[in-house]
Amino acid sequence: MCLAIPAQIEKMEDKTATVVLAGSRTNVSLALVPEAKLGDWVLVHAGYALTILDPQEARETYELLAQIEVDEEEVKRASTAWTQEEKKT
């Protein structure tokens, strides 16, 4: 239940970041990593970033994840999107 996946921050708006996870662009909450910057690699779990990663380590972890057999439910849970606040009109 605790699987987390590395992803790079492509875009940032307030406390939400856009990252690529499991092949698609997903938004994740940065509430737990307030110091995160554009381009940082973060470790993502269930819609939020748990920590900032060293870029080299993140890439290695990412490759490793691609090679091992991981439960599909686990991947879905780890890579689920943070639902953004509805924009006030």
Which CA distances in Å does 58 have to 55, 64, 81, 88? 5, 10, 19, 36
Rounded to whole angstroms, how far apart are CA atoms 9 and 4?
15
Interface with other proteins (CB under 8 A), residue from 20, 22, 31, 38: 31
The reply to whether 23 sits near other proteins by the rule CB under 8 A is no
Query: CA end-to-end span of the chain, whole Å?
Result: 37
Binding mask 42-61 for other proteins (x = CB under 8 A): -x-xxxx-xx-xx--x-x-x
The reply to whether 82 sits near other proteins by the rule CB under 8 A is yes
Q: 81: which DSSP letter?
A: P
| Site for other proteins, rule CB under 8 A | 1-4, 29, 31-34, 43, 45-48, 50-51, 53-54, 57, 59, 61, 63-64, 66-69, 71, 73-74, 76-77, 80, 82-83, 85-86
